[in-house]
Amino acid sequence: MDYRQVVLTLPEQLCILFHNHSNQKPLYSGFVILAKACLSKLIQAHFKSDACEIAAIIFIHTHSCNGNYNPHLHVILAEGAFFLLN
């Protein structure tokens, strides 16, 4: 199966809110859930069907390679989709 790597980053304004939040875990969880939902909608629009599911592996990184706080997601996204049978 072919795949794509997708990197999703937060806008700088949200990075500040994430960094200063006292309980970051639910923010990171929400970021992952929102990313999957957005990618699912994108694939469903591509196939013109809401009866399909994506296959994705999502990793969160909280810092860039130079050590700066920069929450972002690395997504390994299978090309195509799995179509649900009724």
DSSP for 8-56, written as a single string: EE--HHHHHHHHH-S-HHHHHHHHHHHHHHHHHHHHHHHHT-SSEE--E
| Cβ(75)–Cβ(57) below 8 Å | yes
Could you read off the pLDDT of 57-80 as tens digits, one per residue? 999 999 999 999 999 999 999 887
Residues in a beta bridge with 74:
7, 59
Q: Which residue has the tokens 């296959």?
A: 55
Give 48's DSSP letter: T
Could you read off the pLDDT of 42-62 as tens digits, one per residue? 988 988 988 888 899 999 999
